[in-house]
Protein backbone atom coordinates (compact mmCIF):
# COMPACT_ATOMS: atom_id res chain seq x y z
CA UNK A 1 0.00 0.00 0.00
CA UNK A 2 1.42 3.41 -0.98
CA UNK A 3 2.36 5.73 1.88
CA UNK A 4 0.37 8.98 1.88
CA UNK A 5 1.13 12.34 3.47
CA UNK A 6 -1.09 15.37 3.98
CA UNK A 7 1.42 17.72 2.33
CA UNK A 8 1.74 15.62 -0.84
CA UNK A 9 -0.92 16.22 -3.49
CA UNK A 10 -0.85 15.33 -7.18
CA UNK A 11 2.76 14.23 -6.89
CA UNK A 12 4.05 17.44 -5.27
CA UNK A 13 5.17 18.09 -1.69
CA UNK A 14 4.38 21.64 -0.57
CA UNK A 15 5.81 23.37 2.48
CA UNK A 16 3.67 26.17 3.88
CA UNK A 17 3.82 28.11 7.14
CA UNK A 18 1.70 31.15 7.87
CA UNK A 19 3.82 31.78 10.97
CA UNK A 20 7.18 32.00 9.20
CA UNK A 21 6.54 32.76 5.52
CA UNK A 22 2.93 33.90 5.08
CA UNK A 23 1.61 34.18 1.55
CA UNK A 24 4.12 31.86 -0.05
CA UNK A 25 5.19 28.21 -0.16
CA UNK A 26 7.79 25.88 -1.56
CA UNK A 27 7.12 22.72 -3.59
CA UNK A 28 9.17 19.73 -4.70
CA UNK A 29 8.03 17.07 -7.13
CA UNK A 30 7.87 13.66 -5.46
CA UNK A 31 9.08 10.52 -7.18
CA UNK A 32 8.51 8.18 -4.23
CA UNK A 33 7.72 8.37 -0.52
CA UNK A 34 10.44 6.42 1.30
CA UNK A 35 9.27 6.76 4.90
CA UNK A 36 6.60 8.42 7.01
CA UNK A 37 6.14 8.06 10.76
CA UNK A 38 5.38 9.93 13.94
CA UNK A 39 8.26 9.64 16.39
CA UNK A 40 7.97 10.51 20.06
CA UNK A 41 8.84 14.10 19.16
CA UNK A 42 7.78 14.98 15.61
CA UNK A 43 6.31 13.98 12.26
CA UNK A 44 9.07 12.56 10.03
CA UNK A 45 8.81 12.28 6.25
CA UNK A 46 11.51 11.13 3.84
CA UNK A 47 10.85 11.13 0.11
CA UNK A 48 12.80 10.83 -3.10
CA UNK A 49 12.29 13.90 -5.27
CA UNK A 50 12.68 14.02 -9.01
CA UNK A 51 15.34 16.74 -8.99
CA UNK A 52 16.69 17.29 -5.45
CA UNK A 53 17.47 13.71 -4.41
CA UNK A 54 16.24 12.39 -1.08
CA UNK A 55 14.52 14.92 1.17
CA UNK A 56 14.11 14.95 4.97
CA UNK A 57 11.03 16.76 6.31
CA UNK A 58 10.26 17.34 10.00
CA UNK A 59 6.81 18.57 11.02
CA UNK A 60 6.14 19.62 7.44
CA UNK A 61 9.34 21.70 7.07
CA UNK A 62 12.15 20.69 4.71
CA UNK A 63 15.34 20.09 6.70
CA UNK A 64 17.67 19.08 3.89
CA UNK A 65 17.88 17.69 0.38
CA UNK A 66 20.75 15.75 -1.13
CA UNK A 67 21.17 18.34 -3.87
CA UNK A 68 21.93 21.45 -1.81
CA UNK A 69 22.48 20.39 1.83
CA UNK A 70 26.19 21.23 1.68
CA UNK A 71 25.46 24.95 1.35
CA UNK A 72 23.94 24.95 4.84
CA UNK A 73 26.14 22.35 6.53
CA UNK A 74 29.40 23.95 5.41
CA UNK A 75 28.54 27.53 6.36
CA UNK A 76 27.06 26.81 9.80
CA UNK A 77 30.11 24.67 10.58
CA UNK A 78 33.11 26.35 8.98
CA UNK A 79 32.29 29.97 9.82
CA UNK A 80 32.72 29.50 13.61
CA UNK A 81 35.50 26.91 13.34
CA UNK A 82 37.66 29.03 11.02
CA UNK A 83 36.84 32.20 12.98
CA UNK A 84 38.20 30.47 16.11
CA UNK A 85 41.97 30.49 16.52
CA UNK A 86 42.33 27.00 17.99
CA UNK A 87 39.10 24.97 18.17
CA UNK A 88 39.62 21.58 19.74
CA UNK A 89 36.29 20.73 21.32
CA UNK A 90 33.01 21.16 19.41
CA UNK A 91 29.39 20.64 20.46
CA UNK A 92 26.57 20.15 17.94
CA UNK A 93 23.00 20.39 19.24
CA UNK A 94 20.49 18.87 16.85
CA UNK A 95 21.71 17.91 13.41
CA UNK A 96 20.71 14.28 13.58
CA UNK A 97 21.05 14.05 9.80
CA UNK A 98 24.82 14.09 10.40
CA UNK A 99 25.67 16.87 7.95
CA UNK A 100 27.26 19.24 10.46
CA UNK A 101 29.26 16.45 12.10
CA UNK A 102 30.55 15.45 8.67
CA UNK A 103 31.92 18.97 8.25
CA UNK A 104 33.29 19.24 11.80
CA UNK A 105 35.51 16.17 11.52
CA UNK A 106 37.13 17.57 8.37
CA UNK A 107 39.14 19.80 10.72
CA UNK A 108 42.28 18.07 11.96
CA UNK A 109 42.55 20.54 14.86
CA UNK A 110 39.22 19.32 16.30
CA UNK A 111 39.93 16.59 18.84
CA UNK A 112 36.36 15.80 19.89
CA UNK A 113 32.85 16.48 18.60
CA UNK A 114 29.73 15.81 20.66
CA UNK A 115 26.40 15.42 18.87
CA UNK A 116 23.30 15.92 21.05
CA UNK A 117 20.11 14.73 19.35
CA UNK A 118 16.81 14.18 21.13
CA UNK A 119 15.22 12.07 18.40
CA UNK A 120 17.17 8.87 17.69
CA UNK A 121 14.80 8.11 14.81
CA UNK A 122 16.22 11.03 12.80
CA UNK A 123 19.73 9.56 13.00
CA UNK A 124 18.54 6.08 12.09
CA UNK A 125 16.59 7.30 9.05
CA UNK A 126 19.43 9.56 7.93
CA UNK A 127 21.85 6.65 8.02
CA UNK A 128 19.45 4.73 5.83
CA UNK A 129 18.30 7.40 3.38
CA UNK A 130 20.98 10.14 3.60
CA UNK A 131 24.22 8.13 3.75
CA UNK A 132 26.43 10.89 2.33
CA UNK A 133 25.32 13.23 5.10
CA UNK A 134 25.47 10.75 7.97
CA UNK A 135 28.77 9.17 6.90
CA UNK A 136 30.78 10.56 9.85
CA UNK A 137 28.42 9.77 12.73
CA UNK A 138 30.57 6.75 13.60
CA UNK A 139 33.85 8.70 13.38
CA UNK A 140 36.13 8.07 16.40
CA UNK A 141 36.05 11.79 17.27
CA UNK A 142 32.24 11.78 17.59
CA UNK A 143 30.41 11.26 20.86
CA UNK A 144 26.65 10.68 20.46
CA UNK A 145 24.28 11.81 23.20
CA UNK A 146 20.57 11.03 22.87
CA UNK A 147 19.01 13.60 25.16
CA UNK A 148 17.40 17.03 25.42
CA UNK A 149 19.79 19.80 24.37
CA UNK A 150 18.57 22.11 27.13
CA UNK A 151 19.33 19.62 29.89
CA UNK A 152 22.70 18.78 28.34
CA UNK A 153 23.65 22.47 28.44
CA UNK A 154 22.39 22.88 32.00
CA UNK A 155 24.67 20.05 33.11
CA UNK A 156 27.66 21.67 31.41
CA UNK A 157 26.97 25.05 32.95
CA UNK A 158 27.47 23.65 36.43
CA UNK A 159 30.71 21.85 35.48
CA UNK A 160 34.35 22.94 35.42
CA UNK A 161 36.17 24.47 32.46
CA UNK A 162 37.23 21.11 31.02
CA UNK A 163 33.58 20.31 30.29
CA UNK A 164 33.07 23.45 28.19
CA UNK A 165 33.43 23.94 24.45
CA UNK A 166 35.39 26.05 21.97
CA UNK A 167 32.60 26.02 19.38
CA UNK A 168 28.89 25.26 19.83
CA UNK A 169 26.70 24.77 16.75
CA UNK A 170 22.93 24.77 17.15
CA UNK A 171 21.43 22.92 14.19
CA UNK A 172 17.84 22.85 15.39
CA UNK A 173 14.65 22.69 13.38
CA UNK A 174 12.41 25.77 13.17
CA UNK A 175 10.89 27.33 16.34
CA UNK A 176 7.79 25.19 16.40
CA UNK A 177 7.13 22.19 18.62
CA UNK A 178 10.20 20.77 20.41
CA UNK A 179 12.61 23.35 18.92
CA UNK A 180 10.74 26.47 20.04
CA UNK A 181 12.80 26.86 23.22
CA UNK A 182 16.04 27.10 21.23
CA UNK A 183 15.11 30.66 20.20
CA UNK A 184 14.60 32.12 23.70
CA UNK A 185 16.96 34.16 25.92
CA UNK A 186 17.39 31.30 28.38
CA UNK A 187 18.91 29.19 25.61
CA UNK A 188 21.48 31.87 24.74
CA UNK A 189 22.38 32.06 28.42
CA UNK A 190 22.87 28.30 28.57
CA UNK A 191 25.06 28.45 25.47
CA UNK A 192 27.13 31.19 27.08
CA UNK A 193 27.61 29.13 30.25
CA UNK A 194 28.75 26.11 28.23
CA UNK A 195 31.31 28.09 26.24
CA UNK A 196 34.97 28.69 26.98
CA UNK A 197 36.10 32.30 27.32
CA UNK A 198 37.28 32.54 23.71
CA UNK A 199 34.50 30.32 22.35
CA UNK A 200 32.12 30.93 19.46
CA UNK A 201 28.44 29.99 19.09
CA UNK A 202 26.45 29.78 15.87
CA UNK A 203 22.79 28.95 15.34
CA UNK A 204 20.40 28.85 12.43
CA UNK A 205 18.01 31.76 12.72
CA UNK A 206 15.01 30.08 11.03
CA UNK A 207 14.49 33.40 9.21
CA UNK A 208 16.26 35.63 6.72
CA UNK A 209 15.96 39.21 5.53
CA UNK A 210 13.34 38.27 2.92
CA UNK A 211 10.99 36.63 5.40
CA UNK A 212 10.17 38.01 8.87
CA UNK A 213 12.98 40.52 9.26
CA UNK A 214 11.42 42.08 12.37
CA UNK A 215 11.42 38.74 14.17
CA UNK A 216 14.98 38.24 13.00
CA UNK A 217 15.94 41.61 14.44
CA UNK A 218 14.37 40.67 17.78
CA UNK A 219 16.27 37.39 17.81
CA UNK A 220 19.55 39.19 17.16
CA UNK A 221 18.79 41.64 19.99
CA UNK A 222 18.14 38.67 22.28
CA UNK A 223 21.54 37.27 21.39
CA UNK A 224 23.18 40.68 21.98
CA UNK A 225 21.64 40.84 25.45
CA UNK A 226 23.73 37.81 26.38
CA UNK A 227 26.86 37.99 24.18
CA UNK A 228 29.09 41.04 23.81
CA UNK A 229 29.99 40.21 20.19
CA UNK A 230 27.17 39.17 17.85
CA UNK A 231 26.98 39.02 14.06
CA UNK A 232 24.49 37.96 11.40
CA UNK A 233 25.38 36.18 8.17
CA UNK A 234 23.57 33.97 5.70
CA UNK A 235 23.86 31.11 3.26
CA UNK A 236 21.90 30.43 0.08
CA UNK A 237 19.96 27.16 0.00
CA UNK A 238 17.45 26.72 -2.88
CA UNK A 239 15.29 24.21 -0.99
CA UNK A 240 14.66 26.62 1.90
CA UNK A 241 11.76 29.00 1.39
CA UNK A 242 13.07 32.20 -0.29
CA UNK A 243 16.37 30.38 -0.97
CA UNK A 244 18.28 31.89 1.92
CA UNK A 245 18.85 31.10 5.61
CA UNK A 246 20.21 33.36 8.33
CA UNK A 247 22.88 32.39 10.86
CA UNK A 248 23.57 34.17 14.15
CA UNK A 249 27.17 34.04 15.39
CA UNK A 250 28.15 35.01 18.94
CA UNK A 251 31.24 35.36 21.09
CA UNK A 252 32.33 37.18 24.23
CA UNK A 253 35.62 38.30 22.71
CA UNK A 254 34.80 41.90 21.77
CA UNK A 255 37.80 42.31 19.46
CA UNK A 256 37.23 39.08 17.53
CA UNK A 257 36.27 39.60 13.88
CA UNK A 258 33.55 37.00 13.38
CA UNK A 259 33.37 37.87 9.69
CA UNK A 260 37.00 36.87 9.07
CA UNK A 261 38.56 33.42 8.78
CA UNK A 262 41.41 33.60 11.30
CA UNK A 263 42.65 30.22 10.14
CA UNK A 264 42.66 29.52 6.42
CA UNK A 265 41.64 26.12 5.06
CA UNK A 266 44.51 23.91 4.01
CA UNK A 267 44.50 22.89 0.36
CA UNK A 268 43.32 19.43 1.45
CA UNK A 269 40.45 20.89 3.49
CA UNK A 270 39.39 23.28 0.73
CA UNK A 271 39.22 20.43 -1.78
CA UNK A 272 36.62 18.75 0.44
CA UNK A 273 34.33 21.81 0.38
CA UNK A 274 31.76 22.76 -2.25
CA UNK A 275 30.49 26.07 -0.84
CA UNK A 276 32.72 27.53 1.87
CA UNK A 277 35.86 29.55 1.25
CA UNK A 278 37.43 32.50 3.14
CA UNK A 279 36.02 35.08 0.70
CA UNK A 280 32.45 33.83 1.05
CA UNK A 281 32.96 33.70 4.84
CA UNK A 282 33.46 37.48 4.82
CA UNK A 283 30.89 38.20 2.11
CA UNK A 284 28.11 36.36 3.95
CA UNK A 285 28.13 39.08 6.64
CA UNK A 286 27.54 41.88 4.11
CA UNK A 287 23.84 42.79 3.93
CA UNK A 288 21.71 44.86 1.56
CA UNK A 289 21.29 48.44 2.76
CA UNK A 290 17.72 48.18 4.05
CA UNK A 291 18.42 44.95 5.92
CA UNK A 292 21.65 46.29 7.40
CA UNK A 293 19.78 49.29 8.77
CA UNK A 294 17.18 47.11 10.46
CA UNK A 295 19.45 44.36 11.79
CA UNK A 296 22.70 46.17 12.55
CA UNK A 297 21.59 49.67 13.45
CA UNK A 298 17.93 48.99 14.36
CA UNK A 299 16.73 51.73 12.06
CA UNK A 300 13.68 51.03 9.91
Q: How many CB atoms lie within 10 A of CB 77?
A: 28
**From CA 246, how far away is CA 251, in angstroms rounded?**
17
In the set 68, 119, 166, 171, the catalytic residue is 171
Beta bridge partners of 113: 90, 142
End-to-end Cα spacing for the chain: 54
171 is known as an active-site residue: yes
Q: Are 104 and 92 in contact (CB under 8 A)?
A: yes
Question: Which of 93, 133, 134 has the alpha carbon at shortest distance from 116?
Answer: 93
Residues classed as catalytic: 171
Amino acid sequence: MEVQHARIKNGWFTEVSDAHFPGQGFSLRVEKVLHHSQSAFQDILVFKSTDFGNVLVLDGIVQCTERDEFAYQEMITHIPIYAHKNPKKVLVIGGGDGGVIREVVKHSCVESATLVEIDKTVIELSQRYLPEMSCSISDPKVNLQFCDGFQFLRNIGSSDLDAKYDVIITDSSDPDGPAEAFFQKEYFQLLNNALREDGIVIMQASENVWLNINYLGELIQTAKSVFSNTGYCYTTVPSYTSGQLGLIVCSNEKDLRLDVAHRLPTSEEQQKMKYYNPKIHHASFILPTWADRILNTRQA
